[in-house]
Structure 1
Amino acid sequence: MFSIGGIFIPVTNLKKSIEWYEENLELQRISDWEDGIGFCLSSGSTQLALVKVESTQSTEFIIEGSKKNSYYNFFVDDIGIAHAKLSNKGVKTSEIKDYDGMKCFDFFDLDNNLFSVVSEDPDSPFHPDHIKKLQMKD
């Protein structure tokens, strides 16, 4: 019944951010409005929108102390290729970490918004193929 329709990202400079996101995440424009623009990713149906804001705002929440987590992540099939692609374009990235089959790294946009990129082992219950099987049970 429900699915994620869109993810909204706060940006302070819409024009520069549009260029950055198109270049680094290979997004395709859907439409724009006065203070924002909508994109689609190369796969999946979730849309991504940039919304102009007056000041930077966090895309992460505090778990405990200084431990933080991003609100959402991007899934990729090959984390090494994704990491190299962003790093080679000069995007600020963390190192790839491996958590028993789930590999991830973080990257930052022009407003220093934090995003996570993950890839799951095919046997993981969180792998997209497993999720599709669960969805088909209904």
Structure 2
Amino acid sequence: MNSTVSPIACKVNNVFIHVSDLKKSAEWYSDLLGLPFNKEEVNSPVYNVPVTSETGLTLDDHTFDPGFKLKPSNHVLFNFFVQDIDEAYQFIKNKGIIVVKEIERIGDFAYFNFKDLDGNVLMICNC
């Protein structure tokens, strides 16, 4: 393997989620994460969800790309961290969000998968 120094930082900087309705998706993700939401702050083509981690979360409706065709991912795009997997699972179920994989427990690790408004598969896990 080549031992040259890479100019690319060893961290994920931002995650993009492609959406069909930016305002609805911004409100949905804000509600999911318990964040305040102001529809007036959402301006196409992107909305940066105000997450509190190093990695950002951007919703993108591709307003300036008329040829773009949304193809929701059937594979997990990323995961949200939780302390209590059972509490998070009940929260998701109470919101009527579609769970596509029930809680899987592997030792102390547990996760489940669900869909966003556009059908993208996301994960919640405790590690």
**Shorter-chain TM-score: which interval?**
0.7 to 0.9
1:110 matches 2:117: yes
Q: Report what 2:56 is aligned to.
A: 47
Q: Report what 1:131 is aligned to.
A: none
Instruction: Give SS of 2:70's match.
Output: coil
2: CA distance, partners of 1:86 / 1:22 = 13
Structure 2: state its 5+ residue gaps. 1-8, 63-67
Structure 1: state its 5+ residue gaps. 61-68, 121-138
1: CA distance, partners of 2:16 / 2:35 = 14
1: CA distance, partners of 2:69 / 2:89 = 28
Does the C-alpha gap of structure 1 residues 16 and 32 become closer, same or farther in structure 2, counting only changes over 3 Å? closer
Q: Report what 2:46 is aligned to.
A: 36
Does the C-alpha gap of structure 1 residues 28 and 57 become closer, same or farther in structure 2, counting only changes over 3 Å? farther
Q: Report what 1:57 is aligned to.
A: 71
Provide TM-score, normalisation by structure 1: 0.68
Report how many residues are paired. Answer: 110
Does the C-alpha gap of structure 1 residues 89 and 71 become closer, same or farther in structure 2, counting only changes over 3 Å? closer
1:76 matches 2:90: no
2: CA distance, partners of 1:19 / 1:117 = 19
1:28·1:39 contact (CA, 8 Å) conserved in 2?
no
Superposition RMSD on alpha carbons, in Å? 2.2
- Structure 1 stretches of 4+ with a deviation exceeding 3 A read 31-34
Cα-to-partner distance string for 1:58-98 (whole Å, 9 max, x where unaligned): 335xxxxxxxx423211211111111111111111132111
Provide TM-score, normalisation by structure 2: 0.73
Which letter maps to 1:90?
A: G
2:17·2:59 contact (CA, 8 Å) conserved in 1?
yes
